[in-house]
Structure 1
Amino acid sequence: MHQPNCAACADRALADGGTTPDVADLLDGLPDNWGRWGDDDERGTLNLLGSREAAAGMNAALKNGEDAVERFTLGLPLTGEAISEDGGTGDPGFPGREVARRTNVSDERAYREGDQQASAGMKFSDDRFETPFYLQGTTHMDALGHAWYGDELYNGVDAAETAVEKRFETPVEGIGGEVTETRGHGRLSVAPLAGSGVAGRGVLLDVGRYTGGSEGDRLPMGTEISLDDLQVTAEAQGIEIRERDILLVRTGAMARTRDPDADWHPTDEPGLVFSEELVEWVHDHDIAAVGADNVAIERVTQRIDGETYVLPLHGAFLRNLGLPLVEMLWLDDLARACADDEVYDFLFTAAPLHVQRATGGPLNPLVLKATEE
Structure 2
Amino acid sequence: MLDELELKPPRAGAPELSNWGVFGDDDELGTLNYLTHDAVLRGSACVRQGRTYPLNLPVNLPSNRPIGRPEHHKTAHLHNLEFAGVVVNDDHIVLATQGSTQWDSLVHTGAVEAGVEGVFYNGVRPEDIDSDGYAHRNGIDKFAARGIAGRGLLLDVARMVADGADDPLPSDFLITEAEVEECLRYQQCQMLPGDIVCFRTGWVETYLDADEAGRAELMTPVGETFAPAAPGISADLAPLAHGQRWAAVTADNLAVEISPFQPDNARSAHVRMQRNLGLPFGELFDFRDLAIACSADRRYDFFFVSQPLYIPGGMGSPANAMAIR
Q: For residue 32 of structure 2, what is the amino acid of its counterpart?
A: L
Supply the distance in 2 between the matched residues of 1:146 and 1:104 (Cα, whole angstroms): 31
Quick one: which of 39, 54, 59 aligns to 1:78?
59
The answer on whether the counterparts of 1:94 and 1:138 sit within 8 Å (CA) in structure 2 is: no
Supply the distance in 1 between the matched residues of 2:200 and 2:67 (Cα, whole angstroms): 20
Quick one: which of 7, 10, 35 aligns to 1:49?
35
Quick one: which of 109, 128, 132 aligns to 2:92?
128
Give 1:259's aligned residue. Answer: 209
Q: Quote how far apart the aligned CAs of 1:184 are.
A: 2.2
Q: For residue 234 of structure 2, what is the amino acid of its counterpart?
A: V
Quick one: which of 169, 172, 182 aligns to 1:232?
182
Q: For residue 301 of structure 1, what is the amino acid of its counterpart?
A: P
Supply the distance in 2 between the matched residues of 1:81 and 1:361 (Cα, whole angstroms): 15
Q: Secondary structure at the match of 2:208?
A: coil
Supply the distance in 2 between the matched residues of 1:119 and 1:256 (Cα, whole angstroms): 51
Question: Where does 1:199-348 land on structure 2 (aligned, <5 Å)?
Answer: 199-212=149-162, 216-260=166-210, 264-265=218-219, 266-275=227-236, 278-302=237-261, 312-348=268-304
Change (3 A) 1:255 1:311: farther
Quick one: which of 149, 158, 167 aligns to 2:125?
158
Supply the distance in 2 between the matched residues of 1:29 and 1:134 (Cα, whole angstroms): 30
Quick one: which of 143, 146, 167 aligns to 1:196?
146
- CA RMSD across the alignment: 2.3
Q: Secondary structure at the match of 2:209?
A: coil
Give 1:174's aligned residue. Answer: none
Give 1:177's aligned residue. Answer: none
Q: Which has the larger radius of gyration?
A: 1
Supply the distance in 2 between the matched residues of 1:81 and 1:204 (Cα, whole angstroms): 22
Q: For residue 277 of structure 2, what is the amino acid of its counterpart?
A: L
Change (3 A) 1:311 1:254: farther
TM-score (norm 1): 0.74
Supply the distance in 1 between the matched residues of 2:199 and 2:232 (Cα, whole angstroms): 9
Alpha-carbon deviations, 1:4-28, whole Å to 9, x = none?
xxxxxxxxxxxxxxxxxxxxxxxx9
The answer on whether the counterparts of 1:57 and 1:348 sit within 8 Å (CA) in structure 2 is: yes
Give 2:24's aligned residue. Answer: 38
Quick one: which of 73, 94, 107 aligns to 1:145?
107
Supply the distance in 1 between the matched residues of 2:176 and 2:82 (Cα, whole angstroms): 60
Supply the distance in 2 between the matched residues of 1:80 and 1:285 (Cα, whole angstroms): 33
Identity, % of aligned positions: 31
Q: For residue 126 of structure 2, what is the amino acid of its counterpart?
A: A
Q: For residue 58 of structure 1, what is the amino acid of its counterpart?
A: S
Number of equivalent positions: 296
The answer on whether the counterparts of 1:254 and 1:329 sit within 8 Å (CA) in structure 2 is: yes
Unaligned runs of 5+ in 1: 1-27, 63-67, 84-92, 108-115, 166-181
Q: Quote how far apart the aligned CAs of 1:187 are.
A: 1.1
Give 1:360's aligned residue. Answer: 316
The answer on whether the counterparts of 1:104 and 1:128 sit within 8 Å (CA) in structure 2 is: yes
Unaligned runs of 5+ in 2: 1-13, 113-117, 220-226
Supply the distance in 2 between the matched residues of 1:195 and 1:205 (Cα, whole angstroms): 28
Q: For residue 200 of structure 1, what is the amino acid of its counterpart?
A: G
Q: Quote how far apart the aligned CAs of 1:302 are.
A: 4.6
Change (3 A) 1:35 1:29: closer
Alpha-carbon deviations, 1:210-243, whole Å to 9, x = none?
1147984310111111111111111101110011
Change (3 A) 1:119 1:326: farther
Supply the distance in 2 between the matched residues of 1:58 and 1:246 (Cα, whole angstroms): 13
Supply the distance in 2 between the matched residues of 1:347 and 1:327 (Cα, whole angstroms): 18
Supply the distance in 2 between the matched residues of 1:347 and 1:284 (Cα, whole angstroms): 22
Q: Quote how far apart the aligned CAs of 1:365 are.
A: 0.5
Supply the distance in 2 between the matched residues of 1:153 and 1:302 (Cα, whole angstroms): 18
Q: For residue 286 of structure 1, what is the amino acid of its counterpart?
A: R
The answer on whether the counterparts of 1:30 and 1:280 sit within 8 Å (CA) in structure 2 is: no
The answer on whether the counterparts of 2:46 and 2:302 sit within 8 Å (CA) in structure 1 is: yes
Supply the distance in 2 between the matched residues of 1:354 and 1:224 (Cα, whole angstroms): 34
TM-score (norm 2): 0.84
Alpha-carbon deviations, 1:91-115, whole Å to 9, x = none?
xx354213202121116xxxxxxxx
